[in-house]
């Protein structure tokens, strides 16, 4: 059984005041998410990720098509006992403490006061909220609120967790913490469905991705299978002089001095970074980091849409 199953899910919104007309936000999306996997639901802003999440939480109703979670329709109350949800940029009640907020949400699941308290404390420990749990939420930073948000999504020990842009607005440390938390949830056997417009988030944790553009699902599968091109490499090194770097790596697109003897070398896509690293290390350099410059999601979409149009045009010409 699939954890999440979408079949030709479509949502039209009516726009305009005097003469409302439909605007398609989600266009016949069909997608399956297997139990125990982390699916990255990717797309640029406005592509329909949040609309899909809202359809799955039945915050909005579909125009046509269907959505199931754990084999039951999304509106089923029993299904909601088995799922967790973190909305995008969540707002929680400013005047409550994190402890009170979690107890409140636990009570909505029907847990008694004692059990609600136990779950609240244990989850706040898990997401790293210490004594601050007794402070009002208005005093929390964005990162802390996001952790509280994840804690509330786990208050019922869910089988499937939906996270809408969980990394949004977080600093690098916060992103790392959330990434670790999501991986630990996967290790516990939970299914994760998370949306993001940042490709690197998906690369770090997703077993599979689905890519959305203008409400249409344009690709899904493993990232490596999608054919996202590497546009180049960024190599950070130290312990070597700039003139030496340019001599050892003549293929470099650019070499930038950062500070304290650190340099960043931009390498073209066709270059083999392993060979460059071996050369540099052999000359006494120390490697600080190596990052691929992937084609961005936006570039990927443009490429896909252009190809689609070319195919359609070619087909018409042959007819």
Partner 1 sequence: MSAVKAIAVHVFRESVRDRVFYNLVLFAFFMISASYSVGLLSAGQEVKIIKDLGLGATSAFGLFIAVFLGIGLVSKEVERRSLYTILSKPVHRHEVVLGKYVGLVLTLAVNLAVMVVAVYGVLGYISVTESEEFKRGWEAPAVDPAMLTAFFLIFVQLMLVTVIALFFSTFSSSIVAAGLTFGLYIVGHFNAELRALQDVVDAPIAGFVATALSYVLPDLAAFDVSADVVHAQPVTVGYVLLTVAYAFVYIGALLVAAMAVFSRRDFT
Residue 64 in the binding site for partner 1 (CB under 8 A): no
Which of residues 56 and 265 has its CB atom nearest to partner 1 in the complex? 56
Return d(Cα 252, Cα 244) in angstroms, integer: 12
Local structure of 13: helix, strand or coil:
strand
**Quick one: 28 exposed, middle or buried, by C-beta within 10 A (0-12, 13-18, 19+)?**
middle
Smallest distance, partner 1 to C-beta of residue 72, A: 12
DSSP-assigned letter for residue 5: E
* Residue closer to partner 1, measured from CB, 42 or 101: 101
Secondary element (H or E) of residue 162:
strand 160-164
Which residues in the 153-182 window bind partner 1 by CB under 8 A?
A: 156, 162
Q: Considering only residues 93, 176, 306, 309, which one is a binding residue for partner 1 as defined by CB under 8 A?
A: 93
Contact call for residues 149 and 92 (beta carbons, < 8 A): yes
Interaction between residue 91 and partner 1 (CB under 8 A)? yes
- Residue from 19, 21, 77, 319 touching partner 1 (CB under 8 A): that is 77
Nearer to partner 1, 61 or 257 (CB): 61
Assess contact for 32 and 2: CB atoms under 8 A.
yes
Quick check: 48 binds partner 1 (CB under 8 A)?
A: no
Options 89-97, 233-241, 247-255, 266-274: segment touching partner 1 (CB under 8 A): 89-97
Query: 62: alpha, beta or left, given left = phi > 0 and alpha = psi -120 to 50?
Result: beta
User: Which one, 165 or 295, has the nearer CB to partner 1?
Assistant: 165
What does the angle CA 16 – CA 19 – CA 25 come to, to the nearest 5 degrees? 45
Q: Which residue lies nearer to partner 1 by CB, 10 or 58?
A: 58
Output 215 or 273, the one with its CB closest to partner 1. 215
DSSP assignment string, 63-85: SEEEEEETTEETT-HHHHTTEEE
Tell me the sheet residues that pair with 193. 39, 162
One residue of 2, 5, 104, 287 binding partner 1 per CB under 8 A? 104
Interface with partner 1 includes 21 (CB under 8 A)? Answer: no
CA distances from 194 to 21, 178, 272 (A): 31, 12, 33
In SS3 terms, 16-38 reads as CCCCCEEEEEEEEEEEEEECCCE
Closest contact distance (angstroms) between CB of 81 and partner 1 is: 5
Of 22, 23, 46, 59, the one binding partner 1 by CB under 8 A: 59
**Does 100 sit near partner 1 (CB under 8 A)?**
yes
The yes or no reply on residue 57 touching partner 1 (CB under 8 A) is yes
Q: Is 17 a residue that touches partner 1 (CB under 8 A)?
A: no
Site for partner 1, rule CB under 8 A: 13, 54, 57-61, 77-78, 80-81, 83-85, 87, 89-93, 95-96, 100, 104-105, 107-110, 149, 152, 156, 162
């Amino acid at each position: 059984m699939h954890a999440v199953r979408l079949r030709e899910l479509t949502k039209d919104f009516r726009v305009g005041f005097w003469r409302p007309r439909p605007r398609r936000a989600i266009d016949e999306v069909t997608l399956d998410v297997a139990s125990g996997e982390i699916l990255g639901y990717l797309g640029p802003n406005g592509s329909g990720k949040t609309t899909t999440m809202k359809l799955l939480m039945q915050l909005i109703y579909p125009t046509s098509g269907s959505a199931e979670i754990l084999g039951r329709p999304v509106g089923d109350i029993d299904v909601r006992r088995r799922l967790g949800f973190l909305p995008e940029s969540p707002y929680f009640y400013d005047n409550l403490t994190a402890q009170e907020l979690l107890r409140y949400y636990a009570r909505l699941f029907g847990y008694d006061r004692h059990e609600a308290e136990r779950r609240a404390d244990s989850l706040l420990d898990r997401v790293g909220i210490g004594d601050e749990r007794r402070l009002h939420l208005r005093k929390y930073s964005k990162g802390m609120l996001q952790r509280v948000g994840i804690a509330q999504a786990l208050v019922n020990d869910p089988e499937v967790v939906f996270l809408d842009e969980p990394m949004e607005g977080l600093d690098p440390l916060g992103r790392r913490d959330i990434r670790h938390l999501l991986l630990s949830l996967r290790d516990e056997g939970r299914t994760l469905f998370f949306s993001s417009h940042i490709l690197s988030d998906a690369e770090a944790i997703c077993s599979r991705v689905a890519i959305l553009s203008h409400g249409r699902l344009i690709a899904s599968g493993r990232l490596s299978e999608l054919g996202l091109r590497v546009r180049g490499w960024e190599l950070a090194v130290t312990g070597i002089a700039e003139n030496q770097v340019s001599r050892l790596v003549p293929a470099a697109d650019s070499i930038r001095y950062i500070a304290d003897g650190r340099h960043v070398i931009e390498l073209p896509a066709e270059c083999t970074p392993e060979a460059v690293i071996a050369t540099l290390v052999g000359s006494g350099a120390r490697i600080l980091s190596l990052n691929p410059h992937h084609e961005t999601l936006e570039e990927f979409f443009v490429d896909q849409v252009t190809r689609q149009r070319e195919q359609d045009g070619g087909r018409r010409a042959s007819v």
